[in-house]
Structure 1
Amino acid sequence: MTELLEFVLLALYIDWTKGSLYASLVSITASPLLWNIVARNEYRNKTLTKCMGPRSGCTALGVTIFVAGLYREVFYKKALHDQAQFHLPYGIQTVVAWIIFGAGNFLVFTSFVALGFYGTYLGDHFGILKEQRVTQFPFNVLDDPMYVGSTLCFVGAALWYERPVGLLVSLYVAFTYYVALKFEKPFTDMIYDNRNTSAKSKSKHW
């Protein structure tokens, strides 16, 4: 327990001269910024839909987000290795790290299964709407399980590589998702509210 407390406190000591840290933070910020800008533009202007259709456009965005996520992981790993290491007890460095990392991946995977490809990659902004909101696991346990899972993966990696700075980066990830959700949730609610209003309007005409 003492070692873990020291590990957490050492997260405050960062080598700000390392460019890899900035690259990691930029990649973390860029991902949600990218998909929110592109998706909102798509909802309003149908740029990709006009070029290749809604499903192909959503697939292109999904692949772009996935690849950006891979680069984000590479930058994060590089940033960790460029910072100070603090050796943890074997149980924390392996067992605890894998439990946290595994739980994070489990939440991400089960969220993807529940939402499907188009649900995960903002298909609703392309007009690919589900009949009703997803409420099965893990969405019946957490409001935003994919974001929580992703954050846990960052924490697990910080423990596995024994880099205290990873905890601060993980905190930044959580903050980034928090800000993104402030924009995403109301906009998604608006999309489905408009769909429901339109459906009710049509039913009245019949």
Structure 2
Amino acid sequence: MSLDFATLLDLSKSSLLLSLFAITFNPTAWNIVARNEYRNKTITKLFGGNTRYGCYFLAVLIFSFGLLRDALFHNALSEQPRIALIPYEYASKIAIVLGGLGQLFVISSTWQLGVTGTFLGDYFGILMDKRVEGFPFNVLNDPMYVGSTLSFIATSLWLERPAGLFVSVYVYVVYLIALRFEGPFTTMIYTKRAEQRKKNAAKST
């Protein structure tokens, strides 16, 4: 059987485009919302100035939209060509390993950071006392994004949908772009706190 791009990926399906939109929307939207929160405290004001309630509200939104994104991804794959690029007995085993590893990275990251650390609490002024250095942050800089990407790949292999592998690459590219905005901004927040602490220490001496 001859395989070409058109055979592996059906771009005519609107479900695929909708899935790609959701994948793009989520990190983009949360970066915009978080930056606005840092500057204007919009969500915090909705909760009477309670930063934790505001962060928890955003966490629920992010988690809910993540579930929607995953559902749209599964729906998109159901309409894509099913082609076994490698024997299923191997593909399924690889999928189990990658899926398990991906979930390990995501769950352990959340455990280490807590709810506020995971869901952009630093933009609300809820900062970590120190940098998290335990697993999985001692092996990866961005384990949550890597874990999420591995889960997309695992699902694609399990369902034997080559289109899902293309989408998985797109997922990782979107995450890399998001990190170029998210990383420096987060660093700026902690740098400002360190500078403020130095000023406070100087005033107290």
- TM-score range for the pair, normalised by the shorter chain length: over 0.9
Q: Which runs of 5+ in 2 are unaligned?
A: none
> In structure 2, what is the Cα distance between the partners aligned to 1:12 and 1:110?
38
Which residue is 1:136 aligned to? 134
Which residue is 1:74 aligned to? 71
Once the two structures are overlaid, the 10-residue window that deviates more, 104-113 or 44-53, is 44-53
1:38 equivalent in alignment to 2:38: no
Letter in 1 for 2:32: I
Is the contact made by 1:11 and 1:166 (CA closer than 8 Å) also made in structure 2?
A: no
Letter in 2 for 1:22: L
Which residue is 2:13 aligned to? 18
Is the contact made by 1:20 and 1:78 (CA closer than 8 Å) also made in structure 2?
A: yes
Once the two structures are overlaid, the 10-residue window that deviates more, 83-92 or 103-112, is 83-92
Following TM superposition, where does structure 1 have runs of at least 4 consecutive aligned residues deviating by more than 4 angstroms? 9-12
Is the contact made by 2:7 and 2:81 (CA closer than 8 Å) also made in structure 1?
A: no
Query: Secondary structure of the residue that 1:119 maps to in structure 2?
Result: helix
Which residue is 2:82 aligned to? 85
Q: Which runs of 5+ in 1 are unaligned?
A: 1-5
TM value normalised by structure 1: 0.93
Which residue is 1:62 aligned to? 59
* TM-fit CA distance, 1:86: 1.0
* TM-fit CA distance, 1:17: 1.0
* TM-fit CA distance, 1:91: 2.4
Query: Secondary structure of the residue that 1:130 maps to in structure 2?
Result: coil
> In structure 2, what is the Cα distance between the partners aligned to 1:12 and 1:120?
39
> In structure 2, what is the Cα distance between the partners aligned to 1:23 and 1:164?
18
Q: How does 1:48-127 map to 2 (within 5 A)?
A: 48-52=43-47, 53-87=50-84, 88-127=86-125
Letter in 2 for 1:39: A
Once the two structures are overlaid, the 10-residue window that deviates more, 170-179 or 49-58, is 49-58
Aligned residues: 201
> In structure 2, what is the Cα distance between the partners aligned to 1:122 and 1:145?
15
TM value normalised by structure 2: 0.94
> In structure 1, what is the Cα distance between the partners aligned to 2:11 and 2:42?
40
